[in-house]
Amino acid sequence: MSLTQSTILAIVVGAFLFALGVMAWISENNFIAASNREPQQPDTELKIFGSIPYWDQDKAVQVFKAHPGKFDIISLFWYRLDEQGNIVKYTDAREDLSIIDFARRNNVKVLALIANLPEEGE
């Protein structure tokens, strides 16, 4: 990975993490004065996070569909950044919206993972 790609990836990841932090803060505070509210206890419940990687997508989907109640969140490992910083699908990944629909019907949150693994032959 060239220095330019590394810099772009660091900026994208940093901006994403910053945005998540801002969204979490807004969600928690709702811009409402907290002086009259009871203090809230932090959520310490364990969250189970699974991944559906493009290189073993069929088996991962099979396991997920057999046990959806075991997962709180699944990650779709289907995307990467190209040399221009665009989000693109890995060649072997299959964007299957039925997986997202199944997850939502089973109250499982869905995240798209953007990785920097090179395509084969790159």
Residue with tokens 């665009």: 86
Domain membership of residue 120 (yes or no) is no
In a domain, 121, yes or no: no
Indicate the number of domains in the chain: 1
Q: Which domain holds residue 25?
A: 3-115
Question: Per-residue confidence of the chain (122 residues) as pLDDT tens digits?
Answer: 455 655 555 555 455 545 545 455 555 555 444 445 566 677 777 888 899 999 999 999 999 999 999 999 999 999 988 888 899 999 889 999 999 999 999 999 999 988 887 776 55
**What is the model's pTM?**
0.59
